[in-house]
Each structure stands twice: as C-alpha cells, then as structure tokens.
Amino acid sequence: MSQAADPFTPAGAQHRLVDVPGGRIHLVEQGTGPLVLLVHGFPELWYSWRHQLPALAEAGYRAVAIDVRGYGRSSVPDAVEAYRIGAHVEDNVAVVRALGEETAVIVGHDWGSTIAADSALLRPDVFSAVGLLGVPYAPRGGMRPSDAFAMIGGDEEFYVRYFQEPGRAESEIEPDVRAWLTGFYATLSADTMPESGEAGVFFVPKGGKLSDRFVKDRPSWLSDDELDFCVGEFERTGFTGALNRYRSMDQDWEDLAEWDGAPITQPSLFVAGRLDASIAWLASAIEAFPTTLPGLVSSHLVEGCGHWVQQERPEEVNRLLTTWLRSLNA
C-alpha cells in the first residue's frame, strides 16, 4: 500500500493495486470501518469520488474508490468481451476480498450505477446494500439493447449506438481529449448546459459528431487542475476500454437472461440531479422502483443539479450518503 502519490489525492487517502481475475484494479482508500465501494461512470475515474472519500472516512467508513477496468491505472483488456457486466461484478467481488472483507455497501454513478446494481443483483452475499447515482436500476427485459437503440432518434443517432461502433467515437475524442472532455462534462452540467436542456447531446446529427452539440465552457465544479488530471489519465489510456462497456450491452442482455425482470431486494438509495436528462428518458425505471427496488430507503432529486451529481453538489450528496449508510445500521 502506498501513500498519496500526487496532490490530487485527498489527504490521508492511499493508492493501491489489487489482483482480480482479469488483471488488476487500482483503488484509492480512506478511513476505517464498514467498507463502502465507490464505482465511477463514463468518462470518469476514481477521482470522481474525491469529495466523498474524506467525508465517508470522517463519518466512520472505509471508503474505497476504484478505477473501473478499462480506466486509469486499472487493467485495460483488449477484447470487448472482457467488459461484459459479469467481469465487472467479478472485479468488485475480488476487490472486497483483497481488502480482507466479506461484505460491502456498493455505490455507483452513471455506468457505475448499473455496475453497482448488477453487483448487488448477482452477488447479494457480498453486497449488502446499493446506492445508485444518476442512473436508476432497470432490470433486464424487453428487446436486445442494440435493436432498441436503433429505434431511438429518428433521423438522428442515439449516442449509445454511436459509441458501440468500434473506433468511431475514439476518432472523434482522442485527437483533442481536453476539448472533448470539457464539452461533454459541461453539456451535462447544470451551470453550463444548453438553455434548451441537455437532451440534445444524446443524439448525433446525421453525418455529424456527438460533440457538434457540446457547449465549450468549463463547468464551475471542475477546476483547470482537476481537468488536467482527468485529461492526463485518458490521454495515457485512450478511450477504447471505457467505450467497450457500451459495446458489451448485448452480451450483458444474454448473460442476465436468468435474472430477467429481477428486483434488487437489499436496502437501496437513489440520487440524481433534477436537471439530469437521464431521469427523463429513464422515467419509467424510476416509476417502477416499488417493484424493482423493494428495499429502497429513499430517493432524491437534487434541485439545480445536472448529471455529475456527486461532483456538482458534493456536500448534499455526502449528507444523503452518510444519512443512508447510518440508517443501514439503525
């Protein structure tokens, strides 16, 4: 275990590499007490939880934020198949075991929310509770994802379908990682999103690029130095590993056939920004919570907040997380 390796690491936090079946997972941990595993989304890093690590540690928890496989200092397998949901669940279980624990609470944001939900679904023996940020739980069901995405958008292309074509998004992003990340973060942030709302960013104009609708301003929650850290990590790793999560969705659908429509019964939490377009196009998933999340403790929409909820409104999210965590032991 190494001490904090750079000025971006919260004081008192430590970096660590642990072995998992598919290679290694890099994590940053802080505090002692019950384990809380934090799983980021796209296009993020362990660093997305920089505000939560010290807050959870102070509240009496062992907070651990990972670089999901394909990101940061974790392994970046070549094969698309290496990014199917079961591999991520195995990673999370292996991290818990490597830390000498038997169980953990798991919390995820964006894609990390889906990974956290499926970790709780597939391994309820390990993950005793689940917190979902930004993206609600939607059980496996309906048609194959790629078929469903092909029906969305009319003359324009839904962003997931755009991301699923190997090499296509990389050719847009990687020539100028800083500009692309800035635009993607800003367009989904409450203080910089277009006046018409952020929904348009989910669709690619015919013959265009996803970034054609990005705004250019840097959001207020992200400093130049913080952006530098994120840009540096993605310039080193590229984006293929991160994008392969989108390219594995049909395989996930096949792998989860046994759990079609299955609820998550552990105690759960949902938090999203009121201005996050995900809660609009996934509204039916939220409405289904009484059936799909029967253990839901509380659900919150943070006013004036966009997609990056734990970074845009860290103090409020920290309060919601710690209140929920304490309720688990009440």
In the chain, where the domains are located: 14-328
**Would you place residue 314 in the very low, low, confident or very high pLDDT band (cuts 50, 70, 90)?**
very high
Phi–psi pair at 295, nearest 5 degrees: -95, 15
**Would you place residue 197 in the very low, low, confident or very high pLDDT band (cuts 50, 70, 90)?**
low
107, 36 Cβ separation under 8 angstroms: yes
pLDDT tens by residue, 222-239: 999 999 999 999 999 999
Question: Does the annotation count 109 as an active-site position?
Answer: no
pLDDT tens by residue, 81-98: 999 999 999 999 999 999
**Would you place residue 290 in the very low, low, confident or very high pLDDT band (cuts 50, 70, 90)?**
very high
* Dihedral sign of CA atoms 150, 155, 158, 159 in order: positive
Instruction: Indicate the SS3 state at residue 130.
Output: strand
Q: Residue 249 corresponds to which tokens in the numbers above?
A: 């969705």
Residue 1 has pLDDT above 60, yes or no: no
User: What whole-number distance in Å separates Cα of residue 43 and Cα of residue 125?
Assistant: 29
Cα–Cα–Cα angle for 8, 9, 15, rounded to 5 degrees:
135
Question: Does the annotation count 212 as an active-site position?
Answer: no
Q: Mean of the pLDDT values across residues 226-254? A: 97
pLDDT of residue 5: 52
Instruction: Indicate the SS3 state at residue 133.
Output: strand
pLDDT of residue 126: 98
Q: What is the mean pLDDT of the chain?
A: 94
Q: Mean of the pLDDT values across residues 247-267? A: 97
pLDDT of residue 281: 83
What is the crossing angle of helices 85-98 and 111-122, to 10°? Answer: 70
What is the value of pTM for the model shown? 0.96
Choice among 67, 110, 118, 252 that is catalytic = 110
Instruction: Indicate the SS3 state at residue 292.
Output: helix
CATH number 3.40.50.880 given to 14-328:
no
pLDDT tens by residue, 36-77: 999 999 999 999 999 999 999 999 999 999 999 999 999 999
For the beta carbon of residue 299, count every other beta carbon within 10 angstroms.
Answer: 15
- Round to the nearest angstrom and report the end-to-end CA distance of the chain: 33
pLDDT of residue 277: 86
**Long-range Cβ contact pairs of 259-262 (< 8 A, separation 24 or more):** 259/121, 259/122, 259/139, 259/140, 260/139, 260/140, 260/141, 261/139, 261/140, 261/141, 262/121, 262/139, 262/140
Q: Mean of the pLDDT values across residues 191-201? A: 73
Residue 113 has pLDDT above 70, yes or no: yes
Percentage, residues of the chain above pLDDT 70 = 97
